[in-house]
Amino acid sequence: MTLFRKTRAAHASLLAAVLVGAVALSACGTAKSVSDSASILSFEDEWTALYKQTVEVSRSGTGDISAVRSGLKGLSERAEAQGDAASRNSDFAKAVSFYRIAATSAWQAGPPRDTAVLSVQEKGSAACAKLPQGAASQPRDCAFIRMAPSLAALDAKARKMEELRDAGPTIPANRLNEAESVVSDVGDLTKSILEARTLAGAQSTSFDDYVKLNLNREFCTLQGFVGRFSGSAPPADQKLRVIDTARAVQTNLRNAAISTSCS
């Protein structure tokens, strides 16, 4: 496996593609009353605008990402509250839509709000179970709700890899075990997400593209990190374990028809 870091151009292209998926994902609810649709649409519009800002900040390297994440945090909290209210009124279709927005926003808000994804997922899954046909009534909403905690956890591991990678020209010897553990976690989380994706069954192209593009992005972070790890003079057996884990991630993604190209 070739180990290298992504170019800025490739990263910008990927972010733009993810935004397309995010915008398309925002339209994945079922038919609702006019008033309900208007309410949910306003949240969708806010989510799309905030996510677009995260893309632009990441692409340009300028701007106040903390302000954008604060906006995502607030949106997630308000959407969760709307989902709670709808659940209390037994309007589970509306609750599921709001919980999906809450989970999406929490995931992209980063810490500390991303830690709330699990509790939102529990509420959302409970609401999905009470739909007339269960999760099949709103398959894309319910599928994303199921995956959100693992996606958020994978993002957290990517941030840890970036922290370790960027701390110096090599990873310190006293942090090699930590680095190996992070790579192992990435392998486990990627496998979990792919299994959830399979269990979700057929989804819209926009939804699946959104998941695939994010998995590609995390793999590229892993690939660059393994290159840094291998150049940090780890013990031979440890180096082999880390490379084997990264190769397994690459194989699992390819078997799932997900790109592992980083250029």
261 within some domain: no
263 within some domain: no
**What domain range includes position 142?**
8-255
Q: Write b or e for each residue in 42-80: b if 16 or more Cβ atoms lie within 10 A of its Cβ, otherwise e.
A: ebbebbbebbebbbbbbbeeeeeeeebbebbbebbbbbb
Around 111, how many Cα atoms within 13 Å sit in the side-chain half-sphere?
8
Contacts of 103 (CB under 8 A, 6+ apart): 76, 117, 120, 121, 124, 144, 145, 148
- Best-predicted range by mean pLDDT (21-30, 81-90, 206-215): 81-90
Convert the pLDDT of each residue in 185-242 to its tens digit.
Answer: 999 999 999 988 887 665 556 667 778 888 998 999 999 999 999 999 999 999 999 9
Higher-scoring residue by pLDDT: 124, 39: 124
Contact 134, 127 (CB under 8 A): no
24 within some domain: yes
How far is it, in rounded angstroms, from Cα 204 to Cα 143? 11
pTM of the model: 0.77
- Report the phi/psi class of residue 61: left, alpha or beta, with left for phi > 0 and alpha for psi in -120 to 50: left
Residue count of the chain: 263
Question: How many structural domains comprise the chain?
Answer: 1
Task: Say what percent of the chain tops pLDDT 70.
Answer: 81
How far is it, in rounded angstroms, from Cα 244 to Cα 174? 21
Convert the pLDDT of each residue in 117-130 to its tens digit.
Answer: 999 999 999 999 99
71 within some domain: yes
13 within some domain: yes
3 within some domain: no
Contacts of 86 (CB under 8 A, 6+ apart): 92, 94, 95, 98, 127
Higher-scoring residue by pLDDT: 24, 83: 83
Mean pLDDT of the chain: 85
74 within some domain: yes
